[in-house]
Amino acid sequence: MKNQLVASVLNADLGRLGEVCTILEGAGLNAIQWDVMDGHFVPNLTVGAGVIAACRPATGLPFEAHLMIDAPEPYLAEYVEAGCETIIVHAETCTHLHRTLDLIHDLGAKAGLALNPSTPLDACVHVMDLLDLLLVMTVNPGFGGQSYIETMESKIAAARNLIEGSGREVSLEVDGGVSPATISQPAAAGADRFVVGSALYKQGDPARVVDELKLSLGYSSNPPRAE
């Protein structure tokens, strides 16, 4: 589906995450992304499946788990059980990536693959048949509030071509530094799903930022709320 807006809660009020999830649904977001970090693959430590499960009742929005953890295979099932419909793993953390993506499907979830800025698109060529989502990182993973890396746009465009050539319905997601000021750039390059974190919380009104994001994507002055 075109132009999906996904809220990262990495930089949200971590003391009110359940309430934040309810607010994000009302603000018109299409999904919520949980940035799971192990302090090893990335230099930060964040939430686990228990926190996600605790927030699951707070919203009807789909959850996706962005696993920025080394060797994620042993943990996949608990994120599905916590209520994530999509599990995103990093190509850089999976020795047997084809098997890992297969396992995500066996668990009944959609499979996403994330590529760090320096990781070539070649990493996904032989697993395109297993992907429901391809995430091109537009920052180096580990923190919210970083600057969007414009040089990723050629990779986004190449990813769009790869997806078109696969003949499959694969979401092309970008994550990092996305805001009303930048979102039109990855969109023009071919992205159709946008993770937005810190930009959502800066003004204290996520609904207003959602409208600004939609205006930047070319919607009318009264953009439609999430379907």
Given the rule CB under 6 A, which residues bind ligand DX5? 8, 10-11, 35, 66, 68, 139, 141-146, 175-178, 195-199
* 221 CB-contact burial (10 Å; exposed 0-12 / middle 13-18 / buried 19+): exposed
For the chain, strand residue ranges (E) read 4-8, 31-37, 63-68, 84-90, 110-115, 133-137, 171-175, 193-196
Considering the complex, what minimum distance in angstroms separates the CB of residue 206 from ligand DX5?
A: 12
Instruction: Tell me, yes or no, if 35 is annotated catalytic.
Output: yes
Nearer to ligand DX5, 8 or 30 (CB): 8
Considering the complex, what minimum distance in angstroms separates the CB of residue 137 from ligand DX5?
A: 7
Q: Out of 102, 106, 122, 175, pick the active-site residue.
A: 175
Residue pair 65/85 in contact (Cβ under 8 Å)? The answer is no
Number of residue whose CB is nearest ligand DX5: 197
Structural tokens at position 95: 């020795």
Nearer to ligand DX5, 146 or 166 (CB): 146
The torsion region of residue 145 among left (phi > 0), alpha (psi -120 to 50) and beta comes to left
Task: Return the percent helix, strand and coil in the chain, to nearest 5.
Answer: 40, 20, 40
Considering the complex, what minimum distance in angstroms separates the CB of residue 74 from ligand DX5?
A: 21
Instruction: Tell me, yes or no, if 129 is annotated catalytic.
Output: no
Nearer to ligand DX5, 145 or 166 (CB): 145
Considering the complex, what minimum distance in angstroms separates the CB of residue 114 from ligand DX5?
A: 8
Nearer to ligand DX5, 52 or 68 (CB): 68
Q: Of 104, 13, 110, give the one whose Cα is nearest residue 64.
A: 110
Q: Out of 13, 35, 106, 192, pick the active-site residue.
A: 35
Residues with catalytic annotation? 35, 175
